[in-house]
Structure 1
């Protein structure tokens, strides 16, 4: 009997045999992908309205109401159906074209009692209109061309309500671009001013190294890949000869190439994507940028690397209860965990995971399906890189397959903002095997992966609005050398990053709706806190200095490590007797630890319940000062690793005035300059 939620004999996917010759890493072939897509589409049929226009999935109604949920269910599953039809060149044993064509006819009929909510009536319909337009363009011979003139006009009238509308200056600009591009292709109304304005907005999102910020804030997350890189590729496919496409495509493709070089290194050996950023209920949409690269003809990743990365991501979820025992995608990560959803997420929202199945639009003879899988970067060796745009120090370790990022540049805010920390953006670290503490306390207190001050009422201070000071590498010296690596730099450098901000406590006023970012409210200001990281392998040497500010509230300094979750309570171990105190939390697969290296600190472990999507119990090791911190530097050694990996000797740390010296367990050494108070000038007393 198959485990609930894991594909078994009752599903099409469960009947497809693994092929370890073609796919030595995952065993997955195109047949697995097609079977999963068909399972997902067939499982939603019992929840499709009689007229075919809405897919009303069971579960908690989203913040925008039942009609929007049903529209999402239709539009997002239609996108998946479109990929299937396009890749099969119209071969359609499930009658996908006929069923979705009927839904279009009913949903766009203004006289229907369940007509679709229009883009000019509700903003979420602007998102879904893009999925409808992309799918119609991709299936033109089998759906659009076979519609009656009356239905075609209804569809045009429905989509045309986007023209001249107001759109947020975020990834949403692409929703209007692709809709108006489709409208233009079928003789419908469109506005060249809209498209040019939206493309100009997109240009303002461009950041170094292939990254996009999702709007003006430091909002770096999966939207870079599954939206801001994906839609330009789909747009170029829709209108390859459009002068705007011809002029922009070289820049868009080059930017995508730069991003893919980094994105592939963010996938864990088990296929897990980074657990960071909003809309994580979209799950394997994280595979979308790899398929976008293949669709765009990028050569940065080989076909075998593309399929390894994408199959790894999707297979990771199918091995962890996705879809569920009904064949449905729920609000959650592995299983259902509704608290992971934002306010805008409804029952149909998780089907944006369809983007991760874009590869099915490529025919079976495409090289991505016929090439032999190749290893991920973290499977070939340790990974160490700096992503300057998000301010991430990226470290992957081959021994346990974990990828971590230490964060000194992302908070979904602007420098100087006084919002609270979003657990999805402002933590000091994210990985492929951990989740930040969420739930109620995770939003009010930065419990894990944080440097905070404990206020008079026991609440923890926030860091959002910090200033990103630096992110780079320093050379290693001495020692007997390191094991071979995939990148020449991994064995010769450590990654270093610093940030500084004013600690503050936020007391939200009234009801707060979760859109992924931090919350605003009444603010109490604390001192300036400078935080730094020297990263190598599973280790981070975390450096902290607190500088007083006039009239500021202060409190004990608290430095917290990685949160580890499990179905059983992680095992806490606290050592307060030795000279170098430490705290550790472990599960059968993970160990998270913090150890004092410079400064007097007291250890402890927090245990939270139902606080993450990765397990019922979560533990966080931390260190704290006995009273208010001094003005000297503190250093803490932080580690996250697989439970079976030998940690070796703990790095040794020495601080001398404006320099930190680190001696790693293998004897290699490095030094990094520490930022001085002068970096902020008179703002230190502001």
Structure 2
């Protein structure tokens, strides 16, 4: 592999092993009804202020990350066995957190934060509709709908939270229930107005130079719009959004250094490799642009995932994630960060929803864009949208 640094290549098995390491405590305790008893709540304020929200954060974000893999058919051997076990755990977890009689019944409607993580649960169901919805017993679905409805009473602030409200309504549309189209339309129109150019959206009236375009904005817009593929009112925005997302994803790949490090900029650095959400999503949706090609993206993502999750101190003695970007760095946490928040990093693992023979996994290893440029090899110029 000309121009590659001396790092061992990650196989699909390495990706799966890391995802299982992250998700195992959440799935295992969630399925057993012992999540509240077992999960620590590390937070800048000592945890008590976030305890009302942290467990739903951990569950919903983990499910949103593993959902495509749970839904994937045709696996064989050890991976099929692991998937079967995870499916059972995920279904038991969802049943438990929505059951008023469960010791792990979670808060979906008190405070503001539940709007965010009910939306991640809705996104998980959209990504795994068979495993996380159709195959659930009717009473469990009824409990989930009740909790989803509780979150709908929360009015979103005028920023990326508009997308959380829109995601919940999109799920209601998919399952054939009455939904509030105005919440979806407001999010779409507002973000179109907040577009600042070359693949970047502002997050509210002011632009933030951070990773929220990849954490939330582009992936949520894409998933919401996919629910309404024949909607003529949003068709033009959909065309623009795909191009914008592809451009932003290309920029994210260029931010990944040869050692997997990425610029430590902006809010929520404790989400670690969750800033790869958009790259991961475009791969699963097969919307990856021609440049960078899929093998280049896989290589860059593997390095960033490894760098952010393999540092000493990333997990506590019981396997729970600790606050930090690369190891245990509690000083990096904003006041809204707690143990549950950290599981947004699972969103980097969406490509496990692609079959082992897919080009994402099967394509020969190639250098990243950074390898090519800083290895002294010839390269093509980078262009903004419209150039």
Give the secondary structure class of the aligned counterpart of 1:372: coil
Specify the alignment match of 2:348 in structure 1: 356
> Which of 306, 313, 332 is the matching residue for 2:297?
306
Specify the alignment match of 1:486 in structure 2: 379
| RMSD (Å), alpha carbons | 2.9
Unpaired stretches in structure 1, ≥5 consecutive residues: 1-18, 383-397, 399-482, 490-686
Alignment of 1:274-289 (within 5 A): 274-289=263-278
Alignment of 1:381-530 (within 5 A): 381-382=373-374, 398=375, 486-487=379-380
Specify the alignment match of 2:327 in structure 1: 335
Instruction: For residue 154 of structure 1, report the CA deviation from its aligned partner.
Output: 1.6
Q: Deviations over 1:643-669 (max 9, x none)?
A: xxxxxxxxxxxxxxxxxxxxxxxxxxx
Q: Deviations over 1:547-581 (max 9, x none)?
A: xxxxxxxxxxxxxxxxxxxxxxxxxxxxxxxxxxx
Give the secondary structure class of the aligned counterpart of 1:65: helix
Specify the alignment match of 1:107 in structure 2: 97
Against the structure 1 CA distance between its residues 244 and 111, is the aligned structure 2 distance closer, same or farther, given a 3 Å change threshold? farther
Alignment partners' CA distance in 1, 2:315 and 2:102: 32
Specify the alignment match of 2:57 in structure 1: 72
Unpaired stretches in structure 2, ≥5 consecutive residues: 383-387
Q: Does 1:136 align with 2:125?
A: yes
> Which of 377, 380, 391 is the matching residue for 2:372?
380
Is the 1:63–1:345 contact (alpha carbons within 8 Å) kept by the matching residues of 2? no
Instruction: For residue 251 of structure 1, report the CA deviation from its aligned partner.
Output: 0.6
Q: Does 1:84 align with 2:69?
A: yes
Instruction: For residue 485 of structure 1, report the CA deviation from its aligned partner.
Output: 5.0
Specify the alignment match of 1:185 in structure 2: 174
Q: Does 1:95 align with 2:85?
A: yes
Alignment partners' CA distance in 1, 2:233 and 2:353: 24
Instruction: For residue 184 of structure 1, report the CA deviation from its aligned partner.
Output: 1.4
Specify the alignment match of 2:339 in structure 1: 347
Q: Deviations over 1:366-385 (max 9, x none)?
A: 21111122222221124xxx
Against the structure 1 CA distance between its residues 339 and 49, is the aligned structure 2 distance closer, same or farther, given a 3 Å change threshold? farther
Alignment partners' CA distance in 1, 2:296 and 2:234: 27
- The structure with the largest helix share of the pair is 2
Alignment partners' CA distance in 1, 2:35 and 2:74: 24
Alignment partners' CA distance in 2, 1:240 and 1:30: 31
Q: How many residues get paired?
A: 371
Instruction: For residue 309 of structure 1, report the CA deviation from its aligned partner.
Output: 1.6
Alignment partners' CA distance in 2, 1:88 and 1:115: 30
Give the secondary structure class of the aligned counterpart of 1:348: helix
Specify the alignment match of 2:260 in structure 1: 271
Is the 1:79–1:132 contact (alpha carbons within 8 Å) kept by the matching residues of 2? yes
Specify the alignment match of 2:385 in structure 1: none
Specify the alignment match of 1:251 in structure 2: 240
Alignment partners' CA distance in 2, 1:49 and 1:100: 7
Specify the alignment match of 2:249 in structure 1: 260
Q: Deviations over 1:571-614 (max 9, x none)?
A: xxxxxxxxxxxxxxxxxxxxxxxxxxxxxxxxxxxxxxxxxxxx
> Which of 5, 10, 13 is the matching residue for 1:28?
10
> Which of 230, 234, 243 is the matching residue for 2:219?
230
Alignment partners' CA distance in 2, 1:99 and 1:244: 40
> Which of 366, 369, 381 is the matching residue for 2:361?
369
Instruction: For residue 28 of structure 1, report the CA deviation from its aligned partner.
Output: 0.8
Instruction: For residue 23 of structure 1, report the CA deviation from its aligned partner.
Output: 11
Instruction: For residue 353 of structure 1, report the CA deviation from its aligned partner.
Output: 0.3
Is the 1:53–1:102 contact (alpha carbons within 8 Å) kept by the matching residues of 2? no
Alignment of 1:656-667 (within 5 A): none
Against the structure 1 CA distance between its residues 304 and 217, is the aligned structure 2 distance closer, same or farther, given a 3 Å change threshold? same
Alignment partners' CA distance in 2, 1:303 and 1:65: 39
Alignment partners' CA distance in 2, 1:354 and 1:282: 9
Give the secondary structure class of the aligned counterpart of 1:329: coil
Against the structure 1 CA distance between its residues 268 and 190, is the aligned structure 2 distance closer, same or farther, given a 3 Å change threshold? same
Specify the alignment match of 2:39 in structure 1: 57
Q: Deviations over 1:326-371 (max 9, x none)?
A: 4332101222121111111111111100111111122222211111
Give the secondary structure class of the aligned counterpart of 1:286: helix
Give the secondary structure class of the aligned counterpart of 1:274: coil
- The structure with the largest strand share of the pair is 1
Alignment partners' CA distance in 1, 2:37 and 2:129: 22
Alignment partners' CA distance in 2, 1:174 and 1:182: 12
Alignment partners' CA distance in 2, 1:268 and 1:55: 40
Specify the alignment match of 2:197 in structure 1: 208
Instruction: For residue 221 of structure 1, report the CA deviation from its aligned partner.
Output: 0.6
Is the 1:173–1:202 contact (alpha carbons within 8 Å) kept by the matching residues of 2? no
> Which of 119, 127, 139 is the matching residue for 1:150?
139
Q: Deviations over 1:430-462 (max 9, x none)?
A: xxxxxxxxxxxxxxxxxxxxxxxxxxxxxxxxx
Against the structure 1 CA distance between its residues 165 and 325, is the aligned structure 2 distance closer, same or farther, given a 3 Å change threshold? closer
TM-score by length of 2: 0.86
Alignment partners' CA distance in 1, 2:246 and 2:154: 32
Which has the higher Rg, Structure 1 or Structure 2?
Answer: 1
Alignment partners' CA distance in 2, 1:23 and 1:34: 23
Instruction: For residue 487 of structure 1, report the CA deviation from its aligned partner.
Output: 4.7
> Which of 295, 306, 326 is the matching residue for 1:315?
306
Against the structure 1 CA distance between its residues 366 and 249, is the aligned structure 2 distance closer, same or farther, given a 3 Å change threshold? farther
> Which of 4, 16, 37 is the matching residue for 2:19?
37
Is the 2:214–2:275 contact (alpha carbons within 8 Å) kept by the matching residues of 1? yes
